[in-house]
Every structure is written in structure tokens, then in C-alpha cells.
Amino acid sequence: MRLNRTGVVAGAVYLLLGLGWVLLARVDRGWLVGAWLVIVALIGAFIPGAANQVSLARAYLAAPAFVYAVGGEFGFLAVAVAIAGLSDLVDGTVARRIASPSQLGGGLDPVVDGVFMGALCVGLAVGGAIPLWLALVVIARYLLPAIGGAVLLALGWKGELRHTLTGQVSTALILILVGGVCLLRGLHQESSAVLGAAETVIPLATAATFVHLAWAARWRPARVAV
């Protein structure tokens, strides 16, 4: 791998904005957020493509989301979730408009989804907003497919990484339901109904995603869906 101009420029912009926000907003645990931003920027400097840099926005937001979730700053957290959701919608459009979707982008997208969702839900669990088991379900939703894909690539698999409908739906549902809990808490409204829905819908959507992945791997071995 080598340094990529798009990655270096995007990383510098993200880093400048992020560190400026940490200093001006006097973010709690700012050292943790700053260190994370630097790490992601260094990794992102080697990742080509504008669409991939849009996807990386979710990785940059992981540390702020964790800090806000632990600290119970739900208004700011809802904004972070909304920006992450927007980046998830935009990156595919950028890939199709500027350049054709790539194998790297297909693998990167679920990884950054998992990093952001995992940090968000672990932070919410530590802060007592959601149960720990639900956070673990969300982590498993992204970690297990990532491990499976990594194993296949390590074994020399040359197929195509692509999204499944169930995977996209489960990601959207997690964002909407967990983001809804954050938004309602930020507005000082009752969130138990949305949390109850999340405790039912997210495990079901995760199970459906795993079943679809198993079916795709069994019947379409040239492709792995995430």
C-alpha cells in the first residue's frame, strides 16, 4: 500500500475539523477522541477514492459517538448518528457518479459501519441507555461477517463483495432505532417504546442478515454479501 493523494487531503480535512471541534467544544475525554482521529487519518491516507473517504466519516465519528453516549449527551449524539447515516447514503452515490464501485469500497463500507455502530452501542450500554446484550448483538451483526470475509480473502478467494438487502435493511433499522432512542432522550422524552422496538427488531434483523449471508455463501460462492 502507498500514500494516496485523495486520502491524504481528506484525512487532513477531517483531522483539522475534528481537532478544532475537540478544542473549541472542550469535549470530555478529548484526548481519546483526538488520538482516534489521528489513527483514522493515518489509515485513511492509504485508502483511495472519494467514496471511500465519505465512508470513513463514520469511522471518524466512532470516538465522538462513544464519548457522547457514555456521557449521556444525547442531543449531540443524535446529530452524530444523523451525520453517520447521511454518509452511509452518500458514499454509494459518490461511487456510482464519480467512479464505479470497487472491491475495496465493498469491503470498507461494512467495516466502518461496524466500527461506528459498535462504538455507539457500547457507549450507550456503558452509559445505561441500552442493555449490554443489545450492544453485543449489534457488534456481532458486523463482526461475524467481517471475520468470514477476512477468512475467505486469506484463503485466496477472488470473488465479489456486495451488499444484501437484509444487510442494508438491518443497518438502516439499527441507525433509526438506536438514533431514535438518542434523539428522544436528547429531547427529554420517553424512549422506552423505541427501545422496546429496538430490542425486538434488531435481533430479528440481525438473524435475517445471517440467514441471507449463509444462503448467499451456499448458492452464490463467487460473491460474498455483507
pLDDT, one tens digit per residue, over 169-196 is: 998 899 999 999 999 998 989 999 999 9
191 grid coordinates: 424512549
Predicted confidence band of residue 76 (pLDDT cuts 50, 70, 90): confident
pLDDT, one tens digit per residue, over 87-107 is: 888 876 776 676 555 666 667
Tell me, what's the pLDDT at 16?
93
d(C-alpha 128, C-alpha 74), whole Å: 12
Tell me, what's the pLDDT at 151?
67
178 grid coordinates: 438506536
- Which range (104-113, 179-188, 199-208) has the least confidence? 104-113
| pLDDT of 224 over the 50 cut | no
d(C-alpha 66, C-alpha 44), whole Å: 20
Three-state secondary structure call for residue 157: coil
Predicted confidence band of residue 167 (pLDDT cuts 50, 70, 90): confident
Tell me, what's the pLDDT at 94?
74
Tell me, what's the pLDDT at 8?
92
State pTM to two decimals. 0.86
42 grid coordinates: 493515518
Residues 220, 158 contacting (CB under 8 angstroms): no
Tell me, what's the pLDDT at 138?
94
pLDDT, one tens digit per residue, over 16-34 is: 999 998 888 777 778 889 9
| Neighbouring residues of 84: CB distance < 8 A, sequence distance ≥ 6 | 57, 58, 61, 65, 116, 175
Please provide the average confidence, as pLDDT, over all residues in the chain: 85
CATH superfamily for domain 51-225: CDP-alcohol phosphotransferase transmembrane (TM) domain (1.20.120.1760)
Predicted confidence band of residue 145 (pLDDT cuts 50, 70, 90): confident
Give residue 63's identity as a one-letter amino acid code.
A
**3-state DSSP helix/strand/coil percent for the chain, to nearest 5?**
80, 5, 20
Instruction: Name residue 98's beta-bridge partners.
Output: none
